[in-house]
Amino acid sequence: MRNDDLSRQFIVERLSEEGFMVKVSSAMEWIYYTDWCYANGMTADDITFRQWLQLTLRQTVMKRQERLLKAS
């Protein structure tokens, strides 16, 4: 589920009543997912080597920063 209160009003509660377990994803998880989609060609545009390199570098930096934040 998205981490936006307005977009998921009462959905978590309703699904819980139906017996589903719901996990609200973090903003970082959404960024990782959209990066993955982009890297795996799930967009209309072709990705250039330079764009792929920038994406890979950004993912590496973000994952490192996330690990550092979680460790502190």
Per-residue pLDDT of the chain (72 residues; tens, 9 = 90+): 455 667 777 888 888 899 988 877 777 787 888 877 777 776 656 677 887 788 888 888 888 888 888 887
* Residue 8 burial class via C-beta count within 10 angstroms: exposed 0-12, middle 13-18, buried 19 and up: middle
Domain ranges in the chain? 11-71
- The pTM is what? 0.47
C-alpha pair distances (Å), 50 with each of 28, 45, 47, 56, 68: 23, 14, 8, 10, 27
The two three-digit tokens of residue 44, written as one number: 């209309």
